[in-house]
Amino acid sequence: MADTGLDKSLVPAHRYPGRLARMWDSDFVFNFRKSPIAIVAAVVTLVLILSAIFAPWIAPHEPFNPATWDIMSGNSRPMVPNEFTGKVFLMGTDEQGRDIFSTILYGMRISLFIGFSAVIFAMILGITLGLLAGYVGGWTETIIMRMADIQLTLPSILVAMLIFGVAKTLIPFEYQDRVTMWVLILAIGLSDWVQFARVVRGTTLVEKNKEYVQAARLIGRGPGAIMLYHILPNVLNPVLVIATISLALAIIAEATLSFLGVGMSPTQPSLGTLISQGQQYLLSGDWWILVFPAATLLALALSVNLLGDWLRDALNPRLR
Amino acid sequence: MLAYTIKRILQSIVVLLVVGLVAFSMFQYVGDPVDNMLGQERTQADIERVRAQLGLDQPFPVQYWKFISNAAQGDFGISYRQKRPVMDILRSSAPATLELAFVSGLFALIIGITLGVITAIRQNGFGSGIIMTLSLIGVSLPTFLIGILLAHLFAVELGILPSKGRGETVIIGGWVWSVFGTQIQFPSWRTGFLTESGLRALILPSITLGLYQMTLIMRLVRSEMLEVLRQDYIRFARARGLRERAVNFRHALKNTMVPVITIAGLQLGSIIAFAIITETVFAWPGIGNQFILAIRAVDIPMMAAYLMLVSVMFVIINLIVDLLYFAIDPRLRVDRTAGGH
C-alpha cells in the first residue's frame, strides 16, 4: 500500500493506524466489505478450496481404497439410513458403496489442482511472451502476436482437446494413467496463455515509455531486470483479474474434457468424471450420484466467476 | 478496399498453411502409419512398399506440399479407426452438425435479440433483473450440465421430447442429372427438417448449444440499446408522437445491429466447435461426435481433417465478418489501413 504521507512524529503514536488497520480501510478492502456478492463468493470459494486441501482429514471414507467400500451400503439415499446396514451417508453412495461426499472432496482436489496448475502455467507463459513482445518489439513481437492471433481463431476447448489427443499418441499406453493429469494441465494451460500475453503486451507498450523505465535504463539496468522488476509489478492487476476468470474457465474446461472421456479416468476421477459417471445412474433414479458433483462444480465455477467479476471492477480505477 | 481485401486473404492463407503444418506434423511425429496399416506378420519389403506407397520416403517439404494439395481437394486419407475415407465420414456426418448449428444459431439470434430489447426497455423492471441474473448463472453452467439437465427434465421426467439421436431422417439430393451428355451428381443430404420426429429431436440439442450464444447476444443487444435509447434522435422520434413500438424497434434496434451481426457471425464458428459437447450429450451423429471418437481412438487422419475443416471454417467466417465490417462502417477504413493491425 502507498504511504499515507503522514509524518509519524506529528501524530501521537496511538493515533497512527497500524498496518492491519490501514489495510482494513484501504480502497480495495473497503470495496470488498461493501459488496455482499463478493463476500459470499469469497467465502464459498475459500470453503471449497480448504475442504479440497484437507480432503484426507474431512472425508469420512477413503473412496479410492476398495477395501473400505461397503457393497452392502450400495445405492444409499442421502441422509436416509441404509435399508441393510442402517448406515447414514450425507450425500448417499453409489452402486459399489462409495461415499459420494468423499468422492466429491477428492474429485474437487483433482479439479482444483489441475485448474490452478493450468492457470499458473498459462500465466507464466503468457506473461513472459507478453513482456517480450511488448518490450522487445520487432520480429519477436510479430511472431508472438501472430501466434496468438492464430490460436484465438480457434476456441480454447478445441485447442485443449487437440493437444490432449496428440499427447496421448506420444505417450506409451502403460504410463498414460499416471500422466493424464499433467497432460491436461499442459493442454488447458497452452490453450489459455493468449489472454495473458495480449494484456501484458498492451500494458507493457504503455509502461515502457514512461519516465521510470527511462530512468532505470539510464542507470544501466538491463532489459531483463527492467521487465522483471519495473514493468512486471505494474501489469499484475489486470493479470490477477484474468487469472481469476481463467481459473473458472480452466475448471470448467477440465470438467468438460473429463466428461467427454478425454480427461481424467474413472480410477482417478475429477468432478467432470464423477458427473459423467453419475449421468449413467440418473435413468435408474439415483439422482444424488449426479446432482451433488454437478452442484459442487457449479458452486465452484460460479463463485470464482463472481469473484473475478468483482475483482475486475474493484481494480479498475475508471470505475471508482 | 481492394488492397485491404487482398491483404486479409493472404493472411488467411498463411494461417491455413500454419494450421496445415500442425495437422501434418501430427502424422510425422505421432506413431508410425505403417504400423497401423500392416499387421504383426510383415517383412521389410512390405514396410518399404507401404512407405513408398504412402510417399513417406520423400523429403519433408514434398510430403507437406502433397498433404496440403490433397487436403485442398478434400482427400485426408483413410480413417485408422473406421477404415474408410475420412472425407466420406465427414460428408455423411456434416449435415447433422450443420442443421444443429443452424437451428441453434437461429434460436440464439431470435431469443437473444428479443430478451435484449426487453431488458433494455424495462431496464429496472423485476423481470429484467431475473433474466440478467439467470444469464449470469447460464454463463457459469458448463454446456454439458445444461444438456444433461434439459435431457433429464424434458425427456425422462416429462417424456415429451427425445434425448438421443436425430429421429427420423430423409435423404434429399443425390440425384444425377445429365446435362448435354455430362453427368452431374447433386450432393446427397440427410435432413431431419422434413419429419416431425426429426424436428422434435432438434429442440433440446439446439437449446443446449445456443444458450451461451443467446446470453451473449442478449447482453450485447441490451447494452447497445441502452446506449442508443439515450440519443437525441430517439427523443425526437418520441416527440414526434411515434408509437413506443415503432421507436424501439424501427429506430433504436436497427442501430444496434452492426455489432450484433459481427458477434453473431464470429460465434457461428464457436457453435460448430462447441457442437462437440452437445453432440456427445445427445448422441447426435455429427462431425463433433466423430472427432471425440477419433481422439479416444487416436485416429490421426480424422483428427487432422477435423482440425483443417474447423480452421477453414473459422478463417472464412473471420474474413467475411472483417470485410463486411469494413464495407458497412466507413470509419474503420482509415484506421485499419494506417494502423496495419
Per-residue pLDDT band at B302 (split at 50, 70, 90): confident
Query: B128, B132, B126: which is closest to B118 by C-alpha?
Result: B128
Average confidence (pLDDT) over B242-260: 78
Among all chains, which residue has been given the C-alpha cell 443452424?
Answer: B102
How far apart are the CA of B307 and the nearest CA of chain A, in angstroms? 8
Higher pLDDT, A72 or B284: B284
What average pLDDT is seen over chain A?
A: 81
Query: Taking CA B197 as the corner, what is the angle to CA B194 and CA B200, rounded to the nearest 5 degrees?
Result: 100
Residue in chain A lying closest to B305 (CA): A162
A:B CB pairs within 8 Å: 96
Q: How much is the ipTM here?
A: 0.76
Type and span of the H or E element at B189: strand B188-191
- Identify the pLDDT of residue B340: 38
Residue B38 within a domain: no
Interface contact B148-A157, CB threshold 8 A? no
**Residue predicted with more confidence, A82 or B303:** B303
Please say whether the beta carbons of B326 and B9 come within 8 A.
no
**Is it the case that residue B151 has pLDDT exceeding 50?**
yes
Best CA proximity match to B289, nearest among B68, B82, B134, B127: B82
Cβ(B187)–Cβ(B84) below 8 Å? no
User: What confidence score (pLDDT) does residue A250 get?
Assistant: 92
Please indicate whether residue B332 or residue B119 has the higher confidence score (pLDDT).
Answer: B119
Confidence at residue A121, expressed as pLDDT on a 0 to 100 scale: 95
Q: What is the pLDDT of residues B92-123, one digit of tens each?
A: 888 888 889 989 989 999 999 888 888 888 87
Higher pLDDT, B332 or B7: B7
Instruction: Please count the other Cβ atoms lying within 10 Å of the Cβ belonging to residue B163.
Output: 20
Q: Which residues contact A40 (CB under 8 A, 6 or more apart)?
A: A303, A306
Q: Is residue B81 part of a domain?
A: yes
Residue A53 lies in domain: 36-63+91-319
Determine the Cα–Cα distance for residues B79 and B306; give it in Å rounded to an integer.
12
**pLDDT score for B39:** 64
pLDDT attached to residue B91: 84
The verdict on residue A193 lying in a domain is: yes
> Phi and psi at residue B188, in whole multiples of 5°?
-90, 150
Which comes out higher in pLDDT, residue B6 or B334? Answer: B6
Question: Which residues of A fall within a CB distance of 8 Å from B280?
Answer: 259-260
Residue at A307 is within a domain? yes
Residue A99: left (phi > 0), alpha (psi -120 to 50), or beta?
beta
Residue B32 has phi, psi (to 5 degrees) of -115, 115
Contact predicate A204/A186, CB 8 Å? no
Query: The domain spanning residue B110 has which CATH number?
Result: 1.10.3720.10
Chain A: residue whose CA lies nearest to B279: A260
Q: What is the pLDDT of residue B29?
A: 63
B128-135 CB contacts, 8 Å cutoff, 24+ apart? B131/B218, B135/B215, B135/B218, B135/B219
- How far apart, in whole angstroms, are the C-alpha atoms of residue A266 and residue A244? 28
pLDDT at B338: 40
- State yes or no: pLDDT of B156 exceeds 90: no
Alpha carbon distance B266, A146 (integer Å):
19
If DSSP codes are grouped into helix, strand and coil, which group holds residue A16? coil
Cβ-defined contact of A302 to B137 (cutoff 8 Å)? yes
Let me know if residue B36 belongs to a domain.
Answer: no
Nearest CA in chain A to B289: A260
Of A165, A260, A298, nearest to B277 by CB-CB distance is A260
**Cell digits for A264?**
481424467
Residue B213 inside a domain? The answer is: yes
**pLDDT by residue (tens digit) across B40-63?**
667 777 777 777 776 667 777 888
* Residue A11: inside a domain: no
- C-beta atoms of B280 and A260 within 8 A: yes
Are the beta carbons of A260 and B276 separated by less than 8 Å? yes
Do the domain assignments include residue A157?
yes
Give the tens place of pLDDT for each residue, A128-160: 999 999 888 888 888 888 888 777 767 778 888
Q: What is the CATH number of the domain that holds A46?
A: 1.10.3720.10
Has residue A85 got a pLDDT over 80?
no
Q: What pLDDT does residue A117 have?
A: 95
* Structural domain count, chain B: 1
The pLDDT, as a whole number, for residue B227 is 84
Q: What's the confidence (pLDDT) of residue A118?
A: 95
Please give the average per-residue pLDDT across B78-103, as a whole number: 84
Q: Provide mean pLDDT across the span B4-33.
A: 78
d(CA A201, CA A208): 10
Is residue A213 included in any domain, yes or no?
yes
Residue A262 has its nearest CB partner, among B136, B156, B296, at B296
pLDDT at A2 over 70: no
Q: Is the pLDDT of residue B331 over 70?
A: no
A interface with B, Cβ–Cβ below 8 Å: 149-150, 153-155, 157-158, 161-162, 164-166, 168-170, 248, 252, 255-256, 259-262, 275, 279, 282-283, 290, 294, 297-298, 301-302, 305-306
Q: Average pLDDT, stretch B225-240?
A: 84
The percentage of residues in chain A with a pLDDT greater than 90, rounded to a whole number, is 14
Average pLDDT, whole number, for chain B?
Answer: 80
Considering the domain boundaries, does residue A15 fall inside one? no
Q: Which range is least confidently modeled, B36-40, B134-138, B317-321?
A: B36-40
Other C-beta atoms within 10 Å of A53: how many?
15
Residue B62 included in any domain? no
H/E element holding B188? strand B188-191
Query: Residue B341 has what pLDDT?
Result: 38
Confidence class of residue A15 from pLDDT cuts 50, 70 and 90? low
Q: Which residues pair with B172 in a beta bridge?
A: B189
Residue A269: partners with Cβ closer than 8 Å, 6 or more residues away: A103, A106, A107, A110, A258, A277
State how many domains chain A has: 1
- The answer to whether B7 touches B20, Cβ cutoff 8 Å, is no
Q: What are the helix (H) ranges across chain B?
A: 2-29, 33-37, 44-54, 60-72, 86-121, 126-140, 143-150, 196-229, 232-239, 244-245, 257-281, 287-297, 300-328, 331-339
* B41 falls within a domain: no
d(CA A261, CA A259): 5
The verdict on pTM exceeding 0.95 is no
Question: For residues B187-225, b (16+ Cβ closer than 10 Å) or e, as one string?
Answer: eebbbbeeeeebeebbbbbbbbbbbbbbbbbbbbbbebb
Let me know if residue A72 belongs to a domain.
Answer: no
Q: Is the pLDDT of residue A112 over 90?
A: yes
Give the residue, A134 or A22, on which the prediction is more confident.
A134
Domain hosting B128: range is 2-30+74-340
For residue B220 the three cell numbers come to: 450485447
What CA–CA distances, in Å, run from A297 to A112, A188, A191, B144? Answer: 10, 17, 21, 12
Question: Is A301 within 8 Å of B274 when comparing Cβ atoms?
Answer: no
Res. A127 pLDDT band, cuts 50 70 90: very high
- Give residue B335's pLDDT: 47
Chain A positions touching B315 (Cβ under 8 A) are 153
| B59, part of any domain | no
Question: Does the pLDDT value for residue A116 go beyond 90?
Answer: yes
